A = this chain, B = another copy of it.
Amino acid sequence: MRLREIAELVGAELVGDGEKEVKKLSPLHSADCNSLTFLTNPKYKEQAIKSEALAILTNSKENFEGKILLIHKNPYSAWAKLLRVFYKEKEFLKGIDRTAIVDKSSKIEENCHIGAYVVMGRNCVVKEGVVIEPHCVIGDNCIIGENCHLYPRVVLYDNVELSKRVILHSGVVVGSDGFGYAEDEGKIRKVPQVGSVLIEDDVEIGANTTVDRGSLEKTILGAGSKIDNLCQIAHNVTLGKNCVIIAQSGISGSTQLGDGVIMSGQSGSVGHIKIGSFSIIGAKSAVTKDVPYKSHYTGIPAQDHKKYLKEQAILRRIDKLYETLKKIKEIKDDRD
């Protein structure tokens, strides 16, 4: 593909010879004279100049010492578009594999791929263009919307509803029982979990993540939300639109996230609270109370990020604080 074609395709400004041909997309460190590469972080500018890359897709208008540039205001998004052109999506054979066991009360619409050894229960509806890869198990009364993609070995319990273009990676479990028990004379008795799960349009869920069904109503993952691997979404949780939940995070029962909330890796939240829209929760943090709109909370327990940073800065020098105080007045010290 010629550089001028690429520029046109993604809407980039071309600086340099547009007739040169790009044969591959490469990261900076391995780009060669056939590569288009990609730069957003100015930290790597020197590396970009020194690289053998034929051309650089960037948002920078700076001088790159003669490199051919494709300048775009959102180069990562343009890059994603190019990846779709250079790497064709895998195609799946249409039809139901002869080893798939689909209850005859379930309805599979046109242009679906139902893979080997898929098992599907009663009264399901699978809409057009769905791909269900081998070894998925779908319970009763599930709805799988247009163009959803279930990677191998996804499990949906009964009554789960996926809207359109939902992507579930291998090992995802949706609709497992929430962790609900009642103590009864010293015994722990299971509280039946009779709700369900609704996953809205364009949600993607990473490998081995678990989403529990509601106890009475629905656990809801809002449209456009992205959940990474090995996360836990407990019963009755609701996510707003476009939330981003990073790996190994967990959200406890009945907690509500607004729109655009980001939970960084290995973070968690207690149950029954609200995390305001567009809030960011720091990595490894534990949210223990409501978080206001557009906040940045960090720590265990999570607090305002600036206050957290200040606290941490002092903590890193607590030895000096301690020594100073000792000089002023002797602290009774069990170790001395």
Contacts and interface: CB of A to CB of B under 8 A. Distances in A.
Interface of A: 25-27, 30, 74, 76-77, 79-80, 83-84, 86-87, 89-90, 99, 101, 115-117, 119, 133-135, 137, 140, 151-153, 155, 157-158, 167, 169-171, 173, 176-177, 179, 181-184, 186-192, 194, 204, 206-208, 210, 212, 215-217, 224, 226, 228-230, 232, 234, 242, 244, 246-248, 250, 252, 265-266, 268, 270, 283-284, 286, 300-301, 303, 310-322, 324-325, 327-329, 331-335
A315 B86 CA distance: 53
Contacts of A210: 171, 206-208, 229-230
Given A182-B76, A189-B80, A322 B319 contact: no
What are the nearest 6 A-B pairs in CB distance? A137-B152, A176-B207, A77-B182, A173-B207, A77-B184, A80-B191
A182 B74 contact: yes
B268 A283 contact: yes
A158 B250 contact: no
| Chain A interface mostly | loop
A101 B115 CA distance: 11
Contact of A324 (B86, B186, B192, B325): B325
